[in-house]
Amino acid sequence: MNTPTHPTPSPLVPRTVPAALLEALAARFGAQCSTASAVCEQHGRDEGSLVAPPPSAVVFAHSTQDVQDAVRLAAQYAVPVIPYGAGSSLEGHLLAVQGGISLDVSRMNQVLSVNADDLTVTVQPGITRKALNDAIKDTGLFFPIDPGADASIGGMTATRASGTNAVRYGTMRENVLALEVVTASGEIIRTGTRAKKSSAGYDLTRLMVGSEGTLGVITEVTVRLYPLPEAVSAAICSFPSIEAAVRTTIQTIQLGVPIARVELIDRHSVRMVNAHSKLNLREEPMLLMEFHGSPASVQEQAELVQEIAGEYGGQAFEWATTPEDRTRLWTARHNAYFAAVQSRPGCRAISTDTCVPISRLADCLLDSVAEADASGIPYFLVGHVGDGNFHFGYLIDPDSAAERASAEQLNHQLVARALALGGTCTGEHGVGIHKMGFLLDEAGVGAVDMMRAIKRALDPQNILNPGKIFAF
């Protein structure tokens, strides 16, 4: 297999935004349209390390009609439209690399219908996962996809997100049933239905899920729901090495234990989390696990995993059965990114993720850890190891070209290793700008050309989030 080439971010070639378009947007949207520098700058950055000039204007959509009108006006002037949800992406998805307008759908945040008997809910794209679960908690159901950040459902759909619960409940790919989408021409289409399965034509829902705003603007999402488990228990266990923790995970999965979550945190990240969240966790590689089911099944699962962990030197197995204790642990895990960034004041995180077949997880992780340790660059490591997915964050001085180059080289080596082991360049962050080159290495020229042909057919003016996934 060829070694991946370094990904090169899309060149900054802003298109002119005519004054006539800004006037038309102001006339149509009034206070819903802003050209204030602070607003534009806020919508011109995400949680990643890449930078680009801000958009020329921000339109705050309240309805599908608003989205349709904004896209039609942009199409009239061939100006880029960049969808914006919660701004939590990591790979430059919302950067205005070719200029244009940011279309903020965060105010489209309503639950439109709950079909409890069918275990589905239809929502607007701006609702966040936490707000969705708060809105439906009285039904006895929940939406399990948890990427860590309180991301919007539209953004999670657009990036094919997953997260900590994927080992049991799957990803957005499996859990999105139907969509309403505004196309590049301003047409409103619907894809999929609430039916559990269909063989009717091309699967346009799957085409849109993971398209990162390059094929359409999502305005409604229908997703699967799941019954709240009767019993939930969380546990942490420390290990003498990352390998021991990973081997425990692999054996757990291969034995068919229906564990809901299993997260790996390395010793550096545990130290950072302790400092940030004021915890006293053992500063050793740690697994954070969660079990769902009946009280008896949860106990059985946990005891079996504890036994497996003991075979690999696991110790300090601690339980968290109350909602408060579980929340404390998972909040600490979700804050790992912010804990890491705060551990080196003024730093930026070069964040990356890969996913490999679980049988190759230990090989991939251990070699990548050895490289990171040898580099001398501070880093954090967390992983949804139950499905072979893990994340590195290299903490660099943003003013140091040498540190940035070293971090990018580590990312390059990590992706090369994952691809050689039959994995992918990104398990859940998406391609965005940062991994455009890696997509070509993974999928091949022919497959990327097919993606490009679809893009050109559906968006001939290249106005929908241009400069992402691949060059047009």
Instruction: State which H helix or E strand residue 244 sits in.
Output: helix 242-254
Distance set, CA 261 to CA 234, 264, 288, 352 (Å): 9, 10, 8, 21
Please report the pLDDT score of residue 360 as a whole number.
93
Identify which of 306, 83, 113 has the alpha carbon closest to the alpha carbon of residue 184: 83
Fold identical between 231-337 and 339-435?
yes
Radius of gyration (Cα) for the chain, nearest Å?
22
pLDDT tens for each residue of 384-402: 888 999 999 999 999 999 9
Q: Give me the half-sphere count of Cα atoms (radius 13 Å) on the Cβ side of residue 29.
A: 28
- CA dist 420 and 375 (Å) reads 22
What pLDDT, in 10s, does the model give residues 330-342? 888 888 988 999 9
Residue 383 · residue 390 · CB < 8 Å:
yes
Residue type present at position 298: V
As given in the structure block, the two tokens for residue 109 are 């945040």
Determine the topology of domain 231-337 in CATH: Alpha-Beta Plaits (3.30.70)
Domain 339-435, second-level architecture: 2-Layer Sandwich (3.30)
Cα separations in angstroms, 426 against 114, 159, 263, 273, 341: 32, 11, 17, 24, 21
Report yes or no: 364 and 421 within 8 Å, Cβ to Cβ: yes
Q: What whole-number distance in Å separates Cα of residue 421 and Cα of residue 437?
A: 18
* pLDDT of amino acid 218: 98
How far is Cα 417 from Cα 420, in angstroms, rounded to an integer?
Answer: 5
DSSP 433: T
Q: What is the pLDDT of residues 127-178, one digit of tens each?
A: 999 999 999 999 999 999 998 889 999 999 999 999 888 999 999 999 999 9
Token pair in block for residue 460: 């001939």
Can you give the pTM of this predicted structure?
A: 0.92
User: Of 454, 432, 459, 458, whose CA–CA distance to 78 is shortest?
Assistant: 459
Q: HSE on the CB side for 87, CA within 13 Å? A: 14
pLDDT along the chain (472 residues), means of 10: 49 87 98 98 91 96 98 98 95 95 98 97 98 97 91 97 91 97 98 93 97 98 97 93 94 92 93 91 94 93 94 90 84 87 93 93 93 96 91 94 96 96 95 94 97 98 97 88
The full set of domain ranges for the chain reads 111-227, 231-337, 339-435
144, 165 in Cβ contact below 8 A?
yes
Fold classified for 111-227? 3.30.465
Residue 7 has a pLDDT of 47
Q: How far apart are CA 250 and CA 265, in angstroms?
A: 16
Instruction: Locate 148 and state its tokens.
Output: 């860590």
Report the C-alpha gap between 136 and 152 in whole angstroms: 16
Give the pLDDT of residue 4. Answer: 53
